[in-house]
Amino acid sequence: MTEQTTPAADRSSTRADSRTETTAVNGGRRLAYAEYGSEAGSPVVFLHGTPGSRRLAELFDAPAKESDHRILAPDRPGYGLSDPWPDRSRADGARVVRAVLDHAGVESARLIAFSGGAPDAFAAAAALPDRIERVDAVAGATPPEHTRERPGVQRLLTRIGSTAPSVLAGLLRAQRWLAGRRDPSFVVAQYTNGDPTAAVSDRAAEVVRADFLEALSRHRSGAVTEFRRTAADWDVAFGAIDAPVRFWHGEDDTNVPIADVRRFEAALPAARLTALDDADHLQTLLRSVPAALNDAEPPA
Q: Which domains does the chain have, with CATH numbers?
A: 2-8+16-149+230-293 (3.40.50.1820)
pLDDT value at residue 3: 44
Whole-angstrom Cα distance, residue 130 to residue 195? 43
- Facing residues of 47 across strands? 113
pLDDT value at residue 230: 86
Whole-angstrom Cα distance, residue 290 to residue 66? 10
pLDDT value at residue 4: 37
Pairing of strands 29-37, 19-25: antiparallel
pLDDT value at residue 298: 79
pLDDT value at residue 152: 83
pLDDT value at residue 16: 59
Distance from CA of residue 244 to its chain's centroid?
A: 19
3-state secondary structure of 154: helix
Which H or E run includes 277? none
3-state secondary structure of 1: coil
Whole-angstrom Cα distance, residue 165 to residue 108? 36
Q: What is the mean pLDDT of the chain?
A: 91
pLDDT value at residue 17: 60
Sign of CA dihedral 272, 278, 282, 283: negative
- Facing residues of 21 across strands? 2, 33
pLDDT value at residue 159: 92
- Which residue from 120, 96, 82 is spatially nearest to 219, judged by alpha carbons? 82
Global pTM?
A: 0.92
- Facing residues of 272 across strands? 246
Mark the ranges of the chain whose per-residue pLDDT is less than 70.
Answer: 1-17, 300
Integer CA distances (angstroms), 33 to 21, 39, 177, 194, 281, in order: 5, 14, 24, 33, 24
Pairing of strands 271-276, 245-250: parallel
**CB–CB of 59/204 below 8 Å?**
yes
Whole-angstrom Cα distance, residue 243 to residue 226? 25
89, burial (CB in 10 Å: exposed 0-12, middle 13-18, buried 19+)? middle
Whole-angstrom Cα distance, residue 148 to residue 156? 15
